[in-house]
Amino acid sequence: MTVRFSIEDHVARITIDRPDRMNAIDTATQTRLEEIWDEIEADPEVRCVVLTGSGEKAFSAGADLKDDTGMSGVDYWKDLSATGFKRIALRRTLNVPVIARINGLALGGGLEMAMGCDILIAADTARFGLPEAKVGRLPLDGGIVTLPRLIPRNIAVGMMMTGRMMSADDMARYGLVNAVVPADELDAEVEAWVKDVLSAAPLSIKAIKAIVRSTGEMSIHDAYTHETPELLAALNSEDANEGVQAFREKRAPVWQGK
């Protein structure tokens, strides 16, 4: 298997396991990742996801140019939207938080996957880039339209037009990365974020993600009045009362997810 996947204590963990290929994505790996995202969406017990790459050198170096059949060209570009944007880079239906554990290079499709996550934690040795133009291609898995919305436009365009790589500190300064730590502290930092996510009400988390993802192009007032099922579920939940009651009783809340 080229992807390791497990679920334990409400946390799904996904590891792209092709260290000999810098965790590059071939067709089989891409297919398996899409299946995993579908499985996570269908499992109400999952409250947080951690996505990473195997080894210490790469989160993912993007498409495996030695085996990327059907992963480029006009048909590939059209198929992404026709099939409902099933990949994490552009997926809009996943309502649980995804933490990217950036342990090394995040290039091309690797960076695009990271941009599809909600929280990015990087080792100080990590490097980021969209080098597709260097090989006559384009960042079709969302990078070409997403990166200029997440960091300053000229920085994003410069990265894409030159293929230059940026450091983890640079990407943190531009607002893409949440935290940068020494490589030997990466796991501890990721687990601290996982713990904090799990300490929050799951329905509140789902509502926050749904609203942020669905209102990015709206005006502030339209976004405020935008009604989503996740918003209504959180506002009408038993957990909303439990959280306040726990605060008053000076104890940890016991979330039911309802």
List the catalytic residues.
112, 132
Euclidean distance between CA atoms 148 and 158, whole angstroms: 10
Nearest CA to 146 out of 135, 164, 159 is that of 159
135 burial (CB, 10 Å; 0-12 / 13-18 / 19+) is exposed
Question: How far apart are the C-alpha atoms of 158 and 170, rounded to whole Å?
Answer: 13
Question: Integer distance in angstroms from the first to the last C-alpha of the chain?
Answer: 36
Q: How far apart are CA 167 and CA 87, in angstroms?
A: 25
Closest CA to 115 of 146, 84, 87, 161: 146
CA dihedral of residues 245, 247, 252, 256 (deg, nearest 10): 40
